[in-house]
Amino acid sequence: MPVTKFKFSAMDIQKLMLFSILFCATQVNAQVDSTKTDSLLLLEMQNQLGEDQPVQPQVAASANPNISVIGDLQGLYRSYGDHHFDAVLNEVEFSFESAIDPYAKANFYYSIGEDAATGEFTSEIEEGYLTTLSLPAHLQLKAGRFKQDVGRINLVHSHALPFVDLPDAYVNFFGEEGLKGDGFSLSWLVPNNSFYQELTFEGTSVAENASFERSRMLFLGHLKNFWDLSDNATLELGLTGMNGENQFGKSSNIYSIDLTYKWKPVQFNTYKSVTFQNEFYYSHANLDSIKVNTKGFYSMLSYQLSKRFFLVGRYDYSNTPYSNTYTQQSGSATLGWYATEFQKIEIGGKYTSVNEPVKEFDSERNFFQGYLRWIFIIGSHGAHQY
């Protein structure tokens, strides 16, 4: 019996290989949704084989989000009160970040924190918002619950700050959680060929804090200016104004200026850097029968000693939103060891002086606080704001 021989052209072999790949892919993914994989393979086949009738792929679901868990362990010492030493799991933050489609991305941060005084745990959605990716005219819209665009530290989560304690003025005017709310933020990249400029306008139902109540919308405007001074140095100037309702049912205005100089030489990029950062707040509050003008600021200098060690010094001065006679001054220092971007240990101390009692420990007028903080991150970890 004669043997039948089959001859395959190069195009036949190519078709056979492509169909084999498609068959294997569908079999392996039989128990999962293979819409995205099949669509990509079919499109590849269409391009390779030049089929006359196009294959229409279905829209695939967004990719799995980047998920991380951030732990903040702290040891505390206070010179005031009966309980001088404490250890707390200060916060555990769950982070979910992902692009939804080519038009928007989503960020969600859920935190669980321990109250050092009571030992009780509370939880909240710290932030949860959508950000557009393709609006025209250099516009970007953010909607949801988010930290508002004021100054340099309000946008940064506490574990990413270079110091353990927050500046006195920031806490006295906005609280430990800072300024955040539910609403929208519209930013515009100003077409400026000389330097970077961004203008932001926000309207939120603000979370209640020392300066503002949630009873009506808080409106905020922020102008960011950024200059590349040289290959090694940058300068940033921010101007912020906000208006909202205070606890007396009247209007309060707060104006803020932030100025940051950074030096990071290209030649020693990972070993040397200097950051000089400053924020100033001015509050004009209408009370029942009077108007009160108060202020506060901090000035911070961070010096990178080596690849993994940073030394930070800071001076704080502050009134409170409704008292210009109360003054709080403090000096603090923090030494940080950054093992990797996923782990750091910081030790710090802060000496504070007040002129009149406002809080439960202010009766001592002068007191000392010590901190030990260990930050660790599991999972993917996004870059922090520059």
pLDDT digits (tens, 9 = 90+) for 5-63: 444 444 444 444 444 444 444 443 444 444 444 445 445 544 544 444 444 444 444 56
The CA distance from 126 to 123, in Å, is: 9
Q: Which parts of the chain register pLDDT below 50?
A: 1-39, 41-42, 45-46, 48-61
pTM (predicted TM-score):
0.80
pLDDT digits (tens, 9 = 90+) for 252-290: 999 999 999 999 999 888 899 999 999 999 999 999 889
Q: Tell me, what's the pLDDT at 68? A: 95
> Look-up: residue for tokens 């994989």?
37
Q: Tell me, what's the pLDDT at 336? A: 97
DSSP codes joined into one string, 277-327:
EEEEEEEEEE-SS-EEEEEEEEEEEEEE-SSSEEEEEEEEEEEETTEEEEE
Q: Tell me, what's the pLDDT at 62? A: 54
Contact assessment for residue 235 and residue 229, using Cβ atoms and an 8 Å cutoff: yes
Q: Tell me, what's the pLDDT at 324? A: 94
Q: Tell me, what's the pLDDT at 20? A: 44
Please give the single-letter amino acid code of residue 269: N
Listed residue (204, 109, 94) closest to 148, CA to CA: 204
Contact assessment for residue 210 and residue 320, using Cβ atoms and an 8 Å cutoff: yes
Q: Tell me, what's the pLDDT at 174? A: 96
- Return the SS3 of 24: helix
Q: Tell me, what's the pLDDT at 135? A: 95
> Look-up: residue for tokens 């060929």?
193
The CA distance from 379 to 384, in Å, is: 15
Listed residue (203, 210, 123) closest to 166, CA to CA: 210
